[in-house]
Amino acid sequence: MATQDFIITDQASVWLFEPLTEAAQRFVREKLNFDEWLWQGERFAVDYLTAGALTEDLQDEGFAVVTKH
């Protein structure tokens, strides 16, 4: 099974991102401003517009992303 860097859960207007690797966490912390996300333990929540852009950025950087609906 391939390594998964992220699990993303689509919950209507809020998407929960769960970084599974340290590299993925670092990428997100550098990419987003503090006012754009809310950490909840190892997860963080963003609105759907931010989530869409971030998902594309993660995939462009070669991160393995799994989306749950």
Global pTM value: 0.62
d(CA 1, CA 16): 23
Query: Could you tell me if residue 1 is inside a domain?
Result: no
Check residues 13 and 24 and name the one with the higher pLDDT: 24
Query: Could you tell me if residue 38 is inside a domain?
Result: yes
Strand partners, 15: 10, 46
Domain count, the chain: 1
pLDDT at residue 42 tops 80: no
Q: Which domain holds residue 46?
A: 6-68
Taking only the tens place, the pLDDT of each residue in 20-41 is 788 887 887 787 765 555 555 5
Q: How far is CA 54 from CA 1, 3, 34, 65, in A?
A: 24, 19, 14, 11
